[in-house]
Every structure is written in C-alpha cells, then in structure tokens.
C-alpha cells in the first residue's frame, strides 16, 4: 500500500510507516519518525511542504477545532497541535504554513535559497510590493537565462550563447555577431564587478569572439556611485538596473554622466525620485523663485 505522507510503497503488514504515518489510524502518530522525515530533505522548500502535508493529514482525520474560546481542549485539530507533534514553535509553524501557501501561488519563492529570503519576499508580497526575491547572483542569472525571450531589452537584439568559462552570461548579436559579456551585480563592490567584467571581455575578445567586437553590460539592482564613476571611462560597458514585477523582469538603461554638470543633473533627478508630494511642492516653489532670479 502507498503511504499518503511519504508516497512510498509499504508492505501490508507494516502498521506505522518509516515517515511516522499510522496506516490503521489514518494519521501521523509517531512523532520521532515524522520529525526525522521532515529533517531528511535538503531544501527548505521540501521541508515546508512536508510540514504542510502532515498538517493536512491531521486535519483530515480530526477535523478543525475552529476558533471558539477554550479550543485547546476542544475536540478536533489545530495548527498548534501539528506544531506540538513536530516539536516546532507555533510561530515557526505559522511561518511554514505561509511559506507553503506562498510556494503554491508564487513560483519565484522556489528560487529563494534561504527561508529568510522567502519570508521577506512573502512579507513584501503581502504588503503589495513586488520586490525581487533573488537571494544571489546565481539566482538572478538563472532567472535571466530561463526568461531570456521575455526580456525584450535583451532578446530583441541579442541571443544567449552557451555558457562559457565562469562568465555570468554571454550573448551574441543577432545580426552583426558582436559579443556581449553580461555581469550581474547584487551586492558585490563596484570595483570588483568592473574589474571582473573587463577581464571577461578580454578573455572573450582573445579566445571567443573570432575578431568581432566585444561589449559589456552590467545588470544591477541600483547603480551605486562607484559603478557610475567607473563606467564614465568605459564606453564599451553599459549599465542597466533591473526590476521585477509580477514575475516579469525589466531592465532600465542607466545613463552615465561624463561631465560635472551631467553628474549634478543625475543626482538631482535621483533625489527628485525619492521626494514625497509635499517635498516636490516645496521644491517647485524654490525652483520657480530661482528661475526668476536667474532671469533678472
């Protein structure tokens, strides 16, 4: 017979499955086995789904205690009872249930390498903010690779090339064969990222491009000052900021200033973006006054 918890085939004579499921009682009764069963999987996603399944089985057997007062002693089952069975804190149990629900409705969570990152992502999602959930550059790389065709900013001109050495991503121009070395930056220092992309561009130019031109692209969450300064002297490297909304990644080109006036403008524009409505109103007044002074 097949165990409804671990899905393994077990002989008819076994009363309790190695996962802790009791075939006669149709519920999980062996707390030692079930705790080991949950611990035995390598990823947090699998662990959370196992916890959710145990909870589901117990509810199916006992029914819900409901929300009435004094429910601790009422007949039926509650999430806290599952927490007790599994030896985890009720708040951890609540978090696991949210994560299990999140995994079913938001596939991006599958890519969160840690439970903490997933929990943050769920919190942000519940607040209505679509935030990126990339816990590492590797996750971002995987996402771009899988969704290349949907990222029009790249796929309209470039096609992704086979992964080469330890480059983040390599692409080839669809018509003229130029190479594009893509480097991803989540939280590494700007100097390191720029140094690395230059080295990769050199490697591609010498060993891979067949004489075609080589360009670079750095994709980051937000362009920091160091990165922008470094690229002011690197005409062949462009910079884009990514944002993720409803599972769709967009890339916005970051213009690199080349003069002090352009630099001032850049900072001004960024500051304005962060202003509240009241601040903008006050600023408008100041600007109007300044304009009048300049015109006099």
- Binding interface with Zn ion (CB under 5 A): 3, 5-6, 17, 19, 21
CB of 50 to Zn ion, least distance (A): 11
Q: How far, in Å, CA of 251 to CA of 243, rounded?
A: 7
CB of 36 to Zn ion, least distance (A): 12
CB of 49 to Zn ion, least distance (A): 14
Pick between residue 57 and residue 180 the one whose CB is nearest to Zn ion: 57
> What pairing do the DSSP bridges indicate for beta strands 179-185 and 27-28?
unpaired
Residue with tokens 């769709």: 248
Instruction: Select from 146, 160, 113, 96 the least CA-distant residue to 247.
Output: 146
Pick between residue 55 and residue 78 the one whose CB is nearest to Zn ion: 55
* 135-166 as b/e: b if 16+ CB within 10 A: bbbebbbebbeeeeeebebbeeebebeeeeee
Partnered with residue 14 across adjacent β-strands are none
Q: How far, in Å, CA of 218 to CA of 183, rounded?
A: 5
Pick between residue 50 and residue 111 the one whose CB is nearest to Zn ion: 50
Q: How far, in Å, CA of 127 to CA of 234, rounded?
A: 40
Q: How far, in Å, CA of 190 to CA of 291, rounded?
A: 37
Pick between residue 28 and residue 154 the one whose CB is nearest to Zn ion: 28
CB of 46 to Zn ion, least distance (A): 15
Q: Give the containing element (helix H, strand E) for 179.
A: strand 179-185
Pick between residue 23 and residue 229 the one whose CB is nearest to Zn ion: 23
CB of 5 to Zn ion, least distance (A): 5
Torsion of CA 43, 44, 49, 52, to 10 degrees: 150
CB of 17 to Zn ion, least distance (A): 3
CB of 6 to Zn ion, least distance (A): 3
Chain length of the chain: 296
Pick between residue 3 and residue 254 the one whose CB is nearest to Zn ion: 3
Pick between residue 19 and residue 169 the one whose CB is nearest to Zn ion: 19
Residue with tokens 């080991």: 36
Contacts (Cβ under 8 Å, ≥6 apart) of 276 = none
């Amino acid at each position: 017979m097949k165990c409804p918890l671990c899905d393994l085939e077990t002989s008819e004579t076994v009363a309790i499955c190695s996962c802790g499921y009791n075939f006669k009682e149709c519920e999980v009764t062996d707390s030692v086995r079930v705790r080991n069963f949950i611990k035995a999987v390598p990823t947090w996603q699998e662990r959370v789904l196992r916890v959710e399944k145990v909870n589901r089985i117990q509810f199916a057997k006992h029914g819900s205690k409901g929300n009435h007062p004094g429910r601790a002693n009422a007949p039926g089952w509650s999430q806290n009872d599952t927490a007790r069975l599994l030896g985890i804190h009720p708040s951890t149990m609540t978090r696991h249930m949210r994560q299990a629900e999140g995994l079913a409705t938001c596939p991006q969570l599958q890519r969160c390498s840690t439970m903490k990152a997933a929990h943050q992502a769920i919190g942000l999602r519940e607040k209505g903010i679509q935030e990126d959930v990339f816990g590492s550059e590797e996750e971002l790389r995987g996402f771009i690779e899988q969704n290349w065709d949907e990222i029009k900013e790249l796929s309209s001109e470039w096609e992704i090339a086979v992964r080469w050495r330890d480059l983040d991503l390599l692409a080839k121009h669809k018509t003229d064969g130029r190479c594009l070395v893509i480097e991803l930056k989540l939280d590494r220092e700007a100097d390191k990222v720029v140094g690395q992309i230059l080295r990769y561009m050199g490697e591609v130019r010498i060993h891979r491009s067949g004489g075609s031109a080589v360009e670079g692209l750095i994709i980051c969450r937000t362009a920091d000052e160091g990165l922008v300064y470094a690229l002011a002297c690197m005409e062949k490297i462009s910079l884009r900021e990514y944002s993720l909304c409803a599972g769709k990644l967009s890339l916005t080109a970051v213009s690199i200033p080349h003069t002090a006036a352009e630099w001032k403008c850049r900072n001004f524009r960024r500051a304005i973006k962060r202003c509240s409505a009241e601040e903008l109103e006050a600023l408008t007044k100041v600007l109007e006054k300044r304009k009048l002074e300049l015109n006099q």
